[in-house]
Amino acid sequence: MNIGPYELHNNIFVAPMAGVTDRPFRRLCKALGAGYAVSEMAASNPRLWASEKTARRLNHDGERAPVAVQLAGADPQMLAEAARHNVDRGAQIIDINMGCPAKKVCNVACGSALLKDVAQVARILEAVVAAVSVPVTLKFRTGWDMSTRNAVQVARLAEASGVAALTLHGRTRACGFAGNAEYETIRSVKQAVGIPVIANGDVDTPEKARFVLAETGADAVMIGRAAQGRPWIFRETAHFLATGSHLPPPRVDEVRELLRDHLDDHYRFYGDIGVRIARKHIGWYTRELAGGHEFRQRMNVIETGIEQSRAVDRFFVELGAYSERLEYIAADRSKLH
């Protein structure tokens, strides 16, 4: 599929996740088959642009095109200014966040809280589309709560505003991440507009991706939590959609190399705080593997990158002595998210 002039590698995308989809993770997911990746949410407030945290979130050095930056905010002109600022610094697609359910975001009328004010949604989208020459996309939810679902209305408004593509997480803000995604609502949105629609929510296996594409008619699927510690899900899903057959689980030595490269990139990107931030990624990689629980307890007290990397290396060397390929000990991944 295309977003504006950009032809994407495939229709299996990695979702923007705060604190997760940083540049090292996006690069890894793209290398392992993700057709598209959007940055983790960055604030539109110009007072925050110079902060170290925001600067990292907007760092796309060496990332494969198209470079997509997600912005959050409630003020149309501030978002428009932020969009111009990022396009001037290399952003090729601007994504507007109207889906984040976090209280600290919604309490300042950002994220999914905007779905309560459709007029403000229109003002924001029109201002951002008018401000930049690159495609503008929208990520949103089905509504504020089950009694006020307005996804079709918002989707039509977005298309009329000049938005190039939509990503719909099939839950309301009130649902958070609980319950089942509303694929019927995504289907209704797809039928209501002529621009590409990306389905998001509960896509955690290649079979589920095929089901969601068929059930919703969406142009693409977006995978979020299921990619944490399992970034090869993108190549597995692409292969399954193309052939109907499954790739074998990755080799233990391959995962060892992938994680080592991920950590090296992580340390270079974050500097001294990289060790602490890397712990969650290491935990996700190892949580379903034999000995993973005990390893995470030991790993979480390590304070240097060299020691952390060596500990991970030893864990996978020992794991490889028992099995050539990854063998998960948890039968139901959904219980781990």
Longest Cα separation, the chain: 60
Residue 250's region, left for phi above 0, alpha for psi from -120 to 50, else beta, is: beta
Q: What is the DSSP string of 240-295?
A: HHHHSSPPPPPBHHHHHHHHHHHHHHHHHHHGGGHHHHHHHHHHHHHTTSTTHHHH
How many CA within 13 A on the CB side of residue 27?
17
The C-alpha atoms of residue 56 and residue 38 are separated, in whole angstroms, by 14
Positions marked active-site: 100
Which phi-psi region, left, alpha or beta, contains residue 158 (left: φ > 0; alpha: ψ -120 to 50)?
alpha
CA dist., res. 38 & res. 27, Å (int): 11
Q: Are 174 and 204 in contact (CB under 8 A)?
A: no
Read out DSSP for 133-196? SS-EEEEEESBSSGGGB-HHHHHHHHHHHT--EEEEESS-TTTTT-S---HHHHHHHHHH-SS-
Q: How far apart are CA 28 and CA 84, in angstroms?
A: 27
Q: Are 233 and 223 in contact (CB under 8 A)?
A: yes
Cα 229 from chain centre? 13
* Cα 131 to Cα 133: distance, rounded to the nearest angstrom: 7
Q: Which residues pair with 93 in a beta bridge?
A: 68
